[in-house]
Amino acid sequence: MNITHASFVTIPVADPDRALRFYRDVLGFEVTADLQVPPGRWLQVAPEGAQTVFTLAGPGMGWGSGGVPRKGGAEPGSARGIMLVTTDVDADCARLTAAGIPVQGPDELPWGRMASFTDPDGNGLMLLTEKEGF
């Protein structure tokens, strides 16, 4: 196998504009693509400099053969376990709380400090400041 990284992770959302405001304005992600393609809007965001981007898939957006967008897709809020690595989980939790986002943690774990929260659709995200040497 010669896999080097994940290209994108699909996050199913009910309202792409609301999701964009959350990922761009609250989490600070950059918009890497915002296009109209059949059957809908192709919207991608990512932390600055990231190799993996997040596709905010609105209603009806799914994937056909060859990676071509098609009608269908996952239920908004069904994504879980998306881990975002941060240099300061405590500061990021404070920023989320100030923006009105409920946060669980952060908790000290063997691999670092970790917290969890959800986006406006209920997709599960986690923040992790990795413990050095882990």
- Distance, CA of 116 to CA of 104 (rounded, Å): 5
Model pTM?
0.87
Q: Residue ranges per domain, the chain? A: 8-71, 82-130
Return the DSSP state at 121: T
CATH architecture classification, 82-130: Roll (3.10)
20-61 pLDDT per residue, tens: 999 999 999 999 999 988 777 889 999 999 999 999 998 877
CB 57 within 8 A of CB 12: yes
CB 78 within 8 A of CB 123: yes
pLDDT at 59: 80
- Spell 27-53 as b/e; 16+ CB within 10 A means b: bebeeeeeeeeeebbbbbbbbeeeeeb
85-99 pLDDT per residue, tens: 999 999 999 999 999
Domain at 8-71, CATH class: alpha beta
